[in-house]
Chains A and B, each alone.
Chain A
Amino acid sequence: MTEPAPAIRVDDLKKTFAFGFLRRKVQAVRGVSFEVRPGEIFGFVGPNGAGKTTTIKMLMGLIFPSGGSCELLGRRVPDVHAKRRVGFLPETPYFYEHLSGREFLHLCGRLFDLPADERRARADRLLEEVGLAGAASRPLRKYSKGMLQRLGLAQALINDPELVVLDEPMSGLDPIGRKEIRDLIGGLRARGKTVFFSTHILADVELLCDRCAIIVGGAIRDVGPLEKLLSPKLLHTEVVIERDGHAEERRLPPGDDVQAFLREALAAGGRVVSVTPVREHLEDLFVREVEADKARQ
């Protein structure tokens, strides 16, 4: 049996911008390659200015690559047939202020050639899902940043896409809003959709992603499942001992005898509050990659 085509295939993608009168060249993306498999949630992680949005804009046909190629659902970008099966949420979405939330979703539905009754049904269902049913008739100029973000997600789903591309979907949202969007993304996975999202919020990646790519300085540093990217080895053991009413935290390096340390602490009249073996988090990996990039420069 042949494997299905990747939902996204990016091969040696490059983008160079020319700025100013002298056309000074800045390479924003330097030969990025990765694949996103159908049905997975893929995180595209990197610090600000790493090239995440530039890569996504190339995928969405908003800017043209200087080199390399990218495919969506097996078709080379830009392709109108592939676009029919893709939903996209831009970073900090801006929509037509004169329209209401419902009118905007209708407009998006028309661009996908959806019949009027289907547009109506989908718009109402999506407004309900993103928690905007009560503001459906309000003009978008009266929407808050968080509400626009939710509407952006709704318009990205109006065509019931196979692949959803989200550029910083959690930006501008409060913790409750972030949780709701995380739940929505989780719901998309349950419905068999492929989700590709960029973020610099590492907790979201750890909570949601099957695999992720780390991009730093316009180049991919690591791609794979989180458990493979993160080093399984113990970094240190965190021990908290309470003595005379004061809590004291100690970090024991991997080679130290934790049992002996605890016995000694108890003998000295202390009380063990917690013992936590600390392994590498995505944040550690991320910091390691960013620092390695700085060292390379």
Chain B
Amino acid sequence: MNRVVAIAINTFREAIREKLLAVILVFACGLIAASFGVGKLSLHEELRVIRDLGLGGISLFSKVLAVVAGVNLVYKEIERKTLYAFIPKPIHRWQFIVGKYLGLVVTLTAQMALMSGVLALTLLAQDAAPDGALVRALVLLWAEALVVTAVAVFFSTFSTPLLSGIFTAGIIGIGRSTPELHALITSQLKDVPGLQTTLDWATQLVPDLHLFYVSGSMVGGKWVTVNAGDFISWSYVAGASGYGALYAACVLALAMAIFARRDFV
């Protein structure tokens, strides 16, 4: 465990010194804070605009940060040969992947906490405090970012950052559209049951990221929004987070299996 923690701490220290990630983070915080000004332009809808823009910004930039950091995570170690000093040490290869992932989780958590802090301050500037609904929405976004990070790390174990980025972006796009995809498959392919079943199974392999961004959509036949009183419950958050943790664990297990068999030439 000590070795995993050592790798995680090193990953965190490296990530917080990464200039590109810092620039993205500053830009994200600026955009979230700018929602205060945009809110002023609306007609008595300041809080709704701040919440929607803030959550949207955190959702977008947390994934950008997860993809940028994740796709480089293992590839950079192999390319720069920094890995050569680690693998001959008394660590298992899977410990390296777990340590790197945990380091990135800590980094993303810190970055999302900072963005959430900016959103809270923006709300306070509008004489409103962050409520439970907003916190639940943020926890869901955090869980989603961890799933996206796991997917990016998985691709990073065998592909270049560019390809890994494209693959991960594709997974995010499909994952966010799972309800629409299911509806499309059901309505358009009802006459071809074999293909319909195959595509249904294929969509099961992609993470259902729609579970994590529910504000302004139907959940269990009910319209939910972070701006209304009856937003999703903590039990929904726990269920979705559990699904995310399980999915991330499976993807990381695959990443570890690939990494364990790789030659570092």
Contact = CB atoms under 8 A, between A and B. Distances in A.
A63 B88 contact: no
Given A83-B89, A110-B3, A111-B89, A94 B263 contact: no
Interface residues on B, range: 20 to 34
A111 B81 CA distance: 17
Pairs of residues from A and B, 7 with the lowest C-beta to C-beta distance, nearest first: A110-B6, A90-B84, A63-B263, A88-B88, A60-B88, A83-B90, A111-B89
A111 B91 contact: yes
Contact of B84 (A84, A93, A96, A111): A93
Interface string B69-91: 00000000000111111111111
Contacts of B17: 98
B233 interface: no
Nearest to A94: B81
A113 B87 contact: no
A80 interface: yes
B2 interface: yes
Interface string B46-62: 00000000000000000
A90 B81 contact: yes
7 contacts: A17-B265, A62-B87, A62-B264, A83-B90, A110-B2, A111-B3, A111-B89
Contacts of B265: 17, 57, 63
Interface string A102-113: 000001101111
Contacts of B177: none
Interface in B134-166: none
A154 to B, nearest CB: 11
B190 to A, nearest CB: 41
Contacts of A99: 10, 13
Contacts of B7: 111
Interface residues of A, number: 30
Interface string A57-98: 100111110000000000000001101101010101111101
A112 B89 contact: yes
A155 interface: yes
Contacts of A152: 85
Contacts of B230: none
Interface in A1-39: 17
B92 interface: yes
A90 B84 CA distance: 7
Contacts of A96: 10, 14, 82
A80 B85 contact: no
Interface in A96-143: 96, 98-99, 107-108, 110-113
Contacts of A57: 264-265
A113 B89 contact: no
B75 to A, nearest CB: 14
Given A62-B83, A86-B88, A111-B7, 10 more contacts: A17-B263, A90-B85, A93-B81, A93-B85, A95-B82, A99-B13, A111-B86, A113-B2, A113-B90, A155-B85
Contacts of A110: 2-3, 5-6
Interface string B1-41: 01101110010011001000000000000000000000000
A199 B82 CA distance: 21
